[in-house]
Structure 1
């Protein structure tokens, strides 16, 4: 058995649901009414993404940056 430490991004949408994503897998997103529920749900999605996956070819997470955008309003 091997432990993986995966990056998770947590956001809140306009309906106040927590949206969670794992950038190592395409389409790996889930949500929940609480952060704990969202994290539990993303674990299930990650398990599905890992099925039959060669761990050597996962996307490489580089980091998180913020980008400033100027709005013309």
Structure 2
């Protein structure tokens, strides 16, 4: 099953990884570690809460006014 991963740099170093289909979140020191941890966390989540549908989210960007 192919799912989405959103990675953001963590303030303390490393990366936070988020899966929007399930809401699972984890972290790792490297991108590879963060994705591996996310895959493990998501597999455990799906054992208890199988997905009802398999639609992928749409990822896009938007802009907001800067803050002074």
Question: TM-score range with shorter-chain normalisation?
Answer: 0.7 to 0.9
TM-score by length of 2: 0.83
Q: How many residues align?
A: 68
Cα–Cα, structure 1 residues 35 and 72, in superposed 2: closer, same or farther, change >3 Å?
Answer: closer
> Partner residue of 2:21?
24
**In 1: Cα distance, 2:67 partner to 2:7 partner:** 28
Larger Cα-atom Rg = 1
> Partner residue of 2:40?
44
Q: CA RMSD in A?
A: 1.8
Which contiguous aligned blocks of 4+ residues in structure 1 show a shift greater than 4 angstroms? none
Q: Which runs of 5+ in 1 are unaligned?
A: none
TM-score by length of 1: 0.78
Q: Displacement, 1:71?
A: 2.2
Q: Which runs of 5+ in 2 are unaligned?
A: none
Q: Does the 8 A contact of 1:25 with 1:58 survive in 2?
A: no
Aligned partner of 1:66 among 49, 61, 66: 61
